Amino acid sequence: MANRPKTGEQSPVKAALTAADMVVQETLLGALRADLPGVALEAEEDTPTAAHFAKAGPTLVVIDPIDGTLRFYLEGLGPYAIMAGLASEGVYSGALVALPREDLFLDALRGEGARIARSNSEPTSLRCSREGHRVLVSHDLPRSAVGVLLAAGFEVAPASGGAISVAPLIPGVRAGIRLVRGGSVSVRGRIGALISREAGARVCGADGQPFPEEIREPASTLLVAADDEDLAVLKVAAAAAQA
């Protein structure tokens, strides 16, 4: 669908908005209002139903109707994502990430594991596996970091932040690296991290320490890998990006 830029944003990426963003968000909010009307809401777009929810509270639902609108939905450079997360006292306790082009639907509840489904199947339990050679990366990952990944034998592919956060759960993908220059991974960009953790993946910051579970704790780098060996390569790439 056509891009209808939002006003007041600092870049085309932030300004990108389509009719699909609005329709998807209203569909999600309609279901949310019916089932959980008392929760607070942090939604990406300003759609009519969003006004019916509180903006803050101990239980918060975070929604991104299309993550990666410009480069990944409109331009098709890689997988885009539809995401919803349920946070209790500032920590995600439930998460949903859909990758429509890949026909993948992933979800998790804290402490109860992760699941995967396709449009014609029931959800099944999910564990990450070290298959394939692809690493999903931020579209602007520095060449120095890309070089590290290529030298390690990986195929590097750009993706939306939501797809990167569940990278080793996608068939043929081993890992993901998200780098936010001059900022922090957004609240929305952390939704899939819960799913990856529940599926047994390593979810870390640039230093290899566990990625913050508190949804607003600053963190500029998100590394997601199937095992420690791949995580070690991602750490070297992250260091190269910051050198």
pLDDT at 18: 78
Q: Going from the N-terminus, what domains does the chain have, and what CATH number goes with each? A: 12-126 (3.30.540.10), 134-242 (3.40.190.80)
- The per-residue pLDDT of the chain, averaged, comes to 93
Q: Taking the CB of residue 208, how many other CB atoms lie within 10 A of it?
A: 14
Closest CA to 149 of 135, 161, 160, 162: 135
pLDDT at 98: 98
Bridge partner residues of 124 (DSSP): 116
pLDDT at 243: 83
pLDDT at 105: 98
pLDDT-derived band at 13 (thresholds 50, 70, 90) equals very low
pLDDT digits over 190-200, tens only?
999 999 999 99
Q: What is the mean pLDDT of residues 86-93?
A: 97
Q: Is 182 left (phi over 0), alpha (psi -120 to 50) or beta?
A: left
- Residue with the bigger pLDDT between 75 and 99: it is 99
In the structure encoding, which two tokens stand for residue 119, read together? Answer: 């449009």
pLDDT at 3: 53
Residues 186 and 85 sit within 8 Å (Cβ to Cβ) = no
pLDDT digits over 93-121, tens only?
999 999 999 999 999 999 999 999 999 89
Assess whether pLDDT exceeds 60 at residue 130: yes
Q: What is the mean pLDDT of residues 23-49?
A: 94
pLDDT-derived band at 19 (thresholds 50, 70, 90) equals confident
pLDDT at 54: 95
pLDDT digits over 217-238, tens only?
999 999 999 999 999 999 999 9
Closest CA to 205 of 186, 221, 218: 221
Euclidean distance between CA atoms 68 and 78, whole angstroms: 9
Burial call 173-206: b when 16+ CB within 10 Å, e when fewer: bbbbbbbbeeebbbbbbbbbbbbbbbbbbbbbbb
